[in-house]
């Protein structure tokens, strides 16, 4: 796509006109469409995928499942939907979550306003008309008053920058774009590169099938047992009976997942009490039980060390070979500052005779070869390589679109030193343009369903306010945006997050500015701020 092509678009090219174009048909785009249509707006959803579900459409690797419990990781906007859908497991599998997404699309008849296998390439703001001109890779050019970017925070896959990657002749797979027909590794020599959440879920299952599995680990992760199990009919009935109150607690909570009681600080209790609390957190099978056990774990290094050491002691207990155990122990960043993981038999998998761990800190990969992978010490041959190497998170899918706002300024340029948003929802210079779970909102630090619903509701309310009051454009002011970015970054600096080379910090993508991308003020307080902005007539925005 070139500038010449995009600037020659005129209103004569238009094939359709909508109140809103929604980019993405994951949970965010689906709910946005439903809500806008219900409010009487016209909207069209575009997705590069062949169906709904976003994350759950693409990430079909073995073992893929949610790690926020299904009874939490689901929509709350319609009590009938909440009551009728049957989750079978504590942490549902990708196929079950995808079935849920399809059920939602059927139930609310979303299909008619969705277009698949269609990528949005450009969105340019036409200042004269006060509308966006949006272009797809299928030749559609449509006009919309509003553009909602429901493009996902973990939707632009990233491969390693390893020399020779294109020369490898065997089969290659990416966890983030797994073949729909599945992969049979029986009898194969398989490599997995990466040890993040996707690798931690897939490694135990690949190991069960492959003749031999070699795991290439650059940074070990802290993982806790998921304790997955079938859901019990009584617990489901109990939750269903209590859903309204429970969901409200989630909305007011810090992570979008209710944690009962006010946590103490780690050193307010005895060593024995702390260990007992960590043991309970370890057994809870809950992403935030251990890191949320004390109020200072994410803020105070000494407090954090106690939790980190507890998990390291578990790794040493589980893994038979002491050297492998040490290689699997994270030591150079605080627990919680890279996204924690929940697993099923991850550490125990390294006790299998057909599994080997290669610690890239000791022997880095030097190149990929036609046969396999070379490290500084060894040449490996593989039948298949699995890249579990993550995403250009939070900003990747936003800047991949050629978005041009007022004065033709490109979003990618505007964000060249890091993203600048107001509330993680809006960008100065880009009127009527919204980012669902955007940078500088709680987003990836939360149960994403709670954050998605909050953003969709806020955006829809904003559009209704504009319609009711005769406004055609809304744009946040540069001053309020800057104040929000500074506030978000100050809060981030008070935590331990900046100590890790994580995707939260943009550190996994070479050249990406190192800034703390999400907002750590907590889901509940953040929601209050957004509500207050709306109640004050969209404080911080210019309406015209
Ligand atoms: P997505 O589901 O990412 O959907 C975005 C869609 O936009 C994609 O289908 C993509 O194709 C489309 N798109 C992007 N750019 C364009 C474009 N230019 N043109 C057209 N289409 C475009 N979160 C949790 O809270 N709990 C969990 O347990 C959890 N588990 C996860 C497991 C995995 C494997 C991954 C990768 C993420 C997980 N997440 C989890 C985060 C997850 O991404 C969110 O929970 C949620 O599914 C995001 O929904 P979304 O609609 O915002 O984005
Ligand atoms: P990730 O957490 O970013 O992990 C990527 C892994 O690849 C890391 O171990 C990384 O090492 C490694 N890596 C990247 N480039 C490499 C290179 N050049 N050489 C060697 N190793 C390299 O990605 P992910 O596992 O896909 O998970 C992303 C996020 O999606 C998660 O954090 C989570 O939010 C979500 N998710 C959730 C679940 C779930 O349980 N429900 C499952 C999957 C994903 P470094 O750490 O050294 O960079």
**What span, in angstroms and rounded, lies between the C-alpha atoms of 212 and 84?**
43
Q: Are strands 379-381 and 372-375 parallel, antiparallel or unpaired?
A: antiparallel
> How does DSSP classify residue 61?
-
Residue 452 CA, closest ligand 1 atom number: 52
Angle at 183 between CA 177 and CA 189, to 5 degrees: 110
CA-nearest residue for atom 8, ligand 1, is 54
- The percent of residues above 90 in pLDDT, for the chain, comes to 96
Which has the closest alpha carbon to 297: 497, 99, 115, 103? 497
Instruction: Give the Å distance between the CA of 24 and the centre of ligand 1.
Output: 9
How confident is the model over 286-311, as pLDDT tens digits? Answer: 998 899 999 999 999 999 999 999 99
**What span, in angstroms and rounded, lies between the C-alpha atoms of 444 and 451?**
9
Contacts of 97 (CB under 8 A, 6+ apart): 53, 56, 65, 66, 70, 73
CA-nearest residue for atom 3, ligand 2, is 390
User: Is the Cβ atom of 66 under 6 angstroms away from ligand 1?
Assistant: yes
C-alpha separations of 102 from 52, 369, 498 in Å: 7, 41, 38
Four-CA torsion 275, 278, 282, 288, nearest 10 degrees? -170
pLDDT > 50? residue 512: yes
Mutate to test the pocket of ligand 1, among 55, 454, 504 (most ligand atoms within 8 A of CB): 55
How confident is the model over 71-114, as pLDDT tens digits? Answer: 999 999 999 999 999 999 999 999 999 999 999 999 999 999 99
User: Is the Cβ atom of 162 under 6 angstroms away from ligand 2?
Assistant: yes
User: Is the Cβ atom of 193 under 6 angstroms away from ligand 2?
Assistant: yes
Q: Is 0.95 topped by the overall pTM?
A: yes
User: Is the Cβ atom of 218 under 6 angstroms away from ligand 2?
Assistant: yes
Confidence of residue 9 (pLDDT cuts 50, 70, 90): low
Confidence of residue 430 (pLDDT cuts 50, 70, 90): very high
CA-nearest residue for atom 23, ligand 1, is 448
**Predicted local distance difference test score (pLDDT) of residue 222:** 98
User: Is the Cβ atom of 32 under 6 angstroms away from ligand 2?
Assistant: no
Instruction: Give the Å distance between the CA of 197 and the centre of ligand 1.
Output: 15
Residue 57 CA, closest ligand 1 atom number: 9
CA-nearest residue for atom 26, ligand 1, is 68
How confident is the model over 116-138, as pLDDT tens digits? Answer: 999 999 999 999 999 999 999 99
User: Is the Cβ atom of 397 under 6 angstroms away from ligand 2?
Assistant: no
The stretch 430-451 carries a mean pLDDT of 98
Instruction: Give the Å distance between the CA of 462 and the centre of ligand 2.
Output: 35
The stretch 431-454 carries a mean pLDDT of 98
Residue 201 CA, closest ligand 1 atom number: 34
The stretch 421-450 carries a mean pLDDT of 98
- The percent of residues above 70 in pLDDT, for the chain, comes to 98
Instruction: Give the Å distance between the CA of 479 and the centre of ligand 1.
Output: 31
**Predicted local distance difference test score (pLDDT) of residue 176:** 98
**What span, in angstroms and rounded, lies between the C-alpha atoms of 262 and 185?**
47
CA-nearest residue for atom 3, ligand 1, is 152
Mutate to test the pocket of ligand 2, among 68, 95, 194, 217 (most ligand atoms within 8 A of CB): 194
**What span, in angstroms and rounded, lies between the C-alpha atoms of 258 and 289?**
10
Confidence of residue 2 (pLDDT cuts 50, 70, 90): very low
User: Is the Cβ atom of 55 under 6 angstroms away from ligand 2?
Assistant: no
pLDDT > 60? residue 1: no
Arithmetic mean of pLDDT over the chain: 96
How confident is the model over 447-477, as pLDDT tens digits? Answer: 999 999 999 999 999 999 999 999 999 999 9
**Predicted local distance difference test score (pLDDT) of residue 441:** 98
Residues facing 227 on adjacent strands: none
pLDDT > 50? residue 144: yes
**Predicted local distance difference test score (pLDDT) of residue 11:** 61
CA-nearest residue for atom 14, ligand 1, is 151
Instruction: Give the Å distance between the CA of 29 and the centre of ligand 1.
Output: 10
How confident is the model over 200-258, as pLDDT tens digits? Answer: 999 999 999 999 999 999 999 999 999 999 999 999 999 999 999 999 999 999 999 99
pLDDT > 80? residue 3: no
**Predicted local distance difference test score (pLDDT) of residue 151:** 98
User: Is the Cβ atom of 57 under 6 angstroms away from ligand 1?
Assistant: yes
What is the residue whose two structure tokens read 């579990």?
388
Mutate to test the pocket of ligand 1, among 21, 22, 24, 424 (most ligand atoms within 8 A of CB): 24
What is the residue whose two structure tokens read 């390439």?
121
Phi-psi region of 266 (alpha: psi -120 to 50; beta: other; left: phi over 0): alpha
The stretch 401-412 carries a mean pLDDT of 98
Four-CA torsion 64, 65, 68, 72, nearest 10 degrees? 150
How confident is the model over 249-278, as pLDDT tens digits? Answer: 999 999 999 988 888 999 999 999 999 999
Residue 198 CA, closest ligand 1 atom number: 34
519 and 170 Cβ atoms separated by less than 8 Å: no
User: Which helix (H) or strand (E) covers residue 430, if one does?
Assistant: strand 430-435
Mutate to test the pocket of ligand 2, among 389, 447, 449 (most ligand atoms within 8 A of CB): 389
The DSSP code sequence of 492-508 is HHTSSGGGS--GGGTTT
User: Which helix (H) or strand (E) covers residue 143, if one does?
Assistant: strand 141-149
Instruction: Give the Å distance between the CA of 13 and the centre of ligand 2.
Output: 42
How confident is the model over 38-78, as pLDDT tens digits? Answer: 999 999 999 999 999 999 999 999 999 999 999 999 999 99
**Predicted local distance difference test score (pLDDT) of residue 259:** 84
Which has the closest alpha carbon to 354: 211, 494, 481, 142? 211
């Amino acid at each position: 796509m070139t500038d010449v092509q995009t600037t020659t678009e005129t209103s004569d090219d238009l094939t359709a006109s909508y109140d809103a174009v929604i980019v993405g048909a994951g949970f965010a785009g689906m709910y946005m469409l439903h809500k806008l249509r219900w409010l009487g707006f016209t909207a069209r959803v575009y997705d590069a995928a062949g169906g709904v579900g976003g994350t759950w459409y693409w990430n079909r690797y073995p073992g893929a499942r949610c790690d926020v419990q299904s009874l939490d990781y689901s929509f709350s906007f319609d009590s009938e939907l909440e009551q009728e859908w049957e989750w079978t497991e504590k942490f549902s599998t990708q196929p079950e979550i995808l079935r849920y997404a399809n059920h939602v699309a059927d139930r609310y008849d979303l299909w008619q306003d969705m277009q698949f296998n269609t990528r949005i390439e450009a969105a340019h703001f036409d200042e004269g008309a006060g509308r966006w001109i949006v272009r797809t890779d299928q030749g559609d050019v449509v006009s919309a008053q509003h553009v909602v970017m429901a493009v996902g925070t973990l939707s632009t896959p990233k491969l390693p920058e390893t020399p020779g990657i294109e020369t490898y002749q065997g089969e290659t797979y990416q966890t983030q774009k797994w073949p729909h027909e599945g992969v049979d590794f029986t009898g194969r020599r398989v490599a997995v590169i990466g040890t993040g959440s996707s690798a931690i879920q897939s490694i135990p299952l690949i190991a069960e099938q492959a003749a031999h599995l070699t795991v290439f680990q650059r940074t070990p992760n802290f993982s806790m047992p998921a304790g997955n199990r079938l859901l019990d009919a009584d617990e489901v009935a109990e939750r269903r009976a209590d859903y309204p109150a429970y969901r409200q607690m989630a909305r007011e909570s810090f992570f979008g997942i209710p944690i009962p009681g006010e946590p103490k600080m780690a050193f307010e209790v005895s060593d024995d009490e702390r260990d007992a609390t960590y043991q309970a957190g370890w057994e809870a099978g809950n992403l935030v039980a251990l890191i949320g056990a004390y109020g200072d774990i994410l803020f105070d290094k000494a407090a954090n060390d106690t939790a980190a050491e507890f998990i390291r002691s578990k790794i040493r207990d589980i893994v038979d070979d002491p050297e492998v155990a040490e290689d699997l122990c994270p030591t150079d960043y605080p627990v919680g500052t890279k996204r924690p993981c929940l697993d099923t038999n991850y550490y125990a998998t390294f006790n299998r005779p057909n599994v080997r761990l290669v610690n890239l800190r000791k022997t880095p990969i030097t190149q990929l070869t036609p046969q396999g992978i070379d490290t500084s010490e060894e040449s490996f041959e593989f039948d298949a390589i699995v890249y579990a190497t993550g995403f250009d998170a939070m900003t990747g899918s936003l800047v991949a679109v050629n978005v041009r706002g007022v004065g033709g300024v490109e979003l990618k340029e505007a964000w060249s030193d890091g993203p600048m948003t107001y509330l993680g929802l809006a960008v100065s210079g880009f009127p009527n343009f919204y980012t669902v779970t955007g940078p500088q909102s709680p987003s990836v630090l939360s149960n994403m369903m709670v954050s998605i619903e909050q953003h969709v509701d806020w955006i829809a309310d904003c559009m209704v306010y504009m319609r009711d009051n005769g406004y055609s454009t809304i744009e946040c002011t540069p001053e309020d945006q800057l104040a929000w970015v500074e506030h978000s970054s100050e809060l981030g600096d008070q935590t331990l997050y900046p100590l890790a080379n994580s995707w939260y910090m943009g550190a996994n993508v070479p050249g990406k500015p190192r800034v703390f991308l999400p907002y750590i003020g907590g889901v509940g307080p953040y929601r209050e701020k957004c509500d207050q902005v709306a109640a004050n007539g969209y404080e911080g925005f210019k309406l015209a």
